[in-house]
Amino acid sequence: MKLSVIVTTYNWPQALHAVLQSLVSQSQLPDEVIIADDGSGPETRQLIETFEAPFPIVHAWHADDGFQAGAARNNALAKVSGDWIVMLDGDCVCPPRFLERHLRLASPGYLVAGNRRLLTQSQTEQYLESDQSAKEFFDQAGAGKNRYVPLGSLRDLRPKQWSLVRTCNLGISTNDALHLQGFDEAYRGWGKEDSDFAVRAVNAGLKIRMGQLACTVLHLYHAEADRAQLPVNIARLEQVLASNDYLPRASRLKD
């Protein structure tokens, strides 16, 4: 199975560098990494062009026109060549066996919903300013809270629990993502484009597989994004919840 990783980013090259370093250290390397860039400046482009990795890195950039995470991810999805996709945010550092464990749970027809451990501001500053490997820091920050637990069939006990899904840590087959026509680009500003994606996936017959205690990332601290658009996005999500629709209202991936 060919593995593609999509990393969403916007103007935080130091964090993106840490995420890419953690991907280089994986026990199961990706076949490609696609940077879903929501309009970052030249420092991010320079980082991507000069970063040394044992896999190709594709820079999927579009012009900065406000927070458009869904559109950025769709831009990256259009460039995917793998069979299975793991989506990450550019502030989510992966432990060494993260992708290996994601692939253990991978199956067409399922969304693998991983989880995150939120770091404090001081922990984040310590990590970004240190020369620790992702493994060393994860072991220290995790402190026994992120151990792998197989769980087996228990992972499939909540197949319609769309609220488990966060696109900062999500696995899905490429065919399923394209069948959903990606993310609804009508969502602008922070919030709910990932919930919309999950609800539409369930409407389309896909199932949620819980990745907790297997696929955990460390989420670097940052100030909250502007949430002025959130009430509008919640209203959009409520319309989708009230319907059986699985296709987005706006997407560059529409047939």
- pLDDT tens string 109-130: 999 999 999 999 998 998 898 8
- In sequence order, which residues have a C-beta less than 8 Å from that of residue 27 and are 6 or more positions away? 96, 97, 99, 100
Q: What mean pLDDT is predicted for residues 74-84?
A: 98
Percent of the chain with pLDDT over 70: 95
Q: What residue ranges do the domains of the chain occupy?
A: 3-241
* pLDDT number for residue 213: 86
> Per-residue confidence at 142, pLDDT binned at 50, 70, 90?
low
Distance CA 189, CA 192 (A): 9
Higher pLDDT, 37 or 144: 37
* pLDDT number for residue 145: 53
Q: What is the mean pLDDT of the chain?
A: 93
Q: What letter does residue 26 receive in the DSSP assignment?
A: -
Question: Which amino acid is residue 114, in one-letter code?
Answer: G
Distance CA 110, CA 228 (A): 32
* pLDDT number for residue 149: 77
* pLDDT number for residue 248: 97
Percent of the chain with pLDDT over 90: 85
Distance CA 147, CA 158 (A): 21
Q: What mean pLDDT is predicted for residues 92-114?
A: 96
Distance CA 96, CA 217 (A): 10
> Per-residue confidence at 143, pLDDT binned at 50, 70, 90?
very low
Q: What mean pLDDT is predicted for residues 79-98?
A: 96
Question: Which amino acid is residue 161, in one-letter code?
Answer: Q
Instruction: Please tell us whether the domain made up of 3-241 is placed in CATH 3.30.470.20.
Output: no
* Per-residue model confidence as pLDDT tens digits over 146-191: 567 777 899 999 999 999 999 999 999 999 999 999 999 999 999 9
Element at 57 (helix H, strand E): strand 57-61
